[in-house]
Amino acid sequence: MTKELLFQAIIKFTFGVVLIGILLFLPAGTLAYWNAWLFMGILFVPMFFAGIVMMVKNPELLRKRLNAKEQEAEQRMIIKTSGIMFILGFVVAGLNFRFQWIVLPDSISWIGAIAFLLAYILYAEVLRENTYLSRTIEVQTGQIVIDTGLYGIVRHPMYCVTFILFFSMPFVLGSVFSAVIFLAYPVLIAKRIRSEEKVLEAELHGYTEYKKKVKYKVIPFVW
């Protein structure tokens, strides 16, 4: 653990909290948007403790995830488009609360929160199983094929987890319109997976055999 890595993690965490707060509370026109407080709690509290664990046990993994930058133009475009999707989804959720376009039962938000937290647990398990996991499409030195645990069920369990995370977000925030916006995510992730698997087949020994062993990419028995 280095002071530089600690400082970088604190800055990025703080920036994330402030940015999400602005995107939710400003359109809502009030701090009384309870769904937003719930969302920020289940997002940032586990993230804070996960960051501490990585800082202590695997600082290199934390460093890779903090400093990830895509090299390919297509992947940079996918990341930018995903960012626009999130911004629109959060802003629309805030506006939905302000103008009460469609009001979902509170129970839906709590169910969404439970699904989100369960996905967070799976997220931690994926990171535990695969220490080579990066936010960019690359094959690292010494990387091997992981084919056990969640990787024995689908080839991209991280994307499976993000499906649950991202599709639960709009319901935590109480916005059907945001859920519609987030439907863009499967299209974006399908393009990313297509590029990622080309790289893995070309550069990661044993990945072609792994594809034959584990048939499904993201969703068991579906895709």
Q: What is the pLDDT of residue 135?
A: 63
What lies within 8 Å, CB to CB, of 202 at 6+ separation is: none
Q: Which domains does the chain have, with CATH numbers?
A: 3-213 (1.20.120.1630)
Q: How far apart are CA 162 and CA 167, in angstroms?
A: 8
Q: What is the pLDDT of residue 6?
A: 84
For the chain, give the longest Cα–Cα distance.
Answer: 54
Going residue by residue through the chain, which has 223 residues, state the pLDDT in tens, using 9 for 90 and above. Answer: 578 888 888 999 999 999 999 999 999 999 999 999 999 999 999 999 888 888 888 787 777 777 766 667 777 888 899 999 999 999 999 999 999 999 999 999 999 999 999 999 999 899 888 877 766 667 777 788 999 999 999 999 999 999 999 999 999 999 999 999 999 999 999 989 998 899 899 999 999 999 999 999 999 989 9
Q: What is the pLDDT of residue 52?
A: 87
In 3D, which of 159, 156, 189, 161 has the Cα closest to residue 79?
189
Residue type present at position 146: I
Find out whether 78 and 188 touch, Cβ atoms under 8 Å: yes
Q: pTM to 2 decimals?
A: 0.90
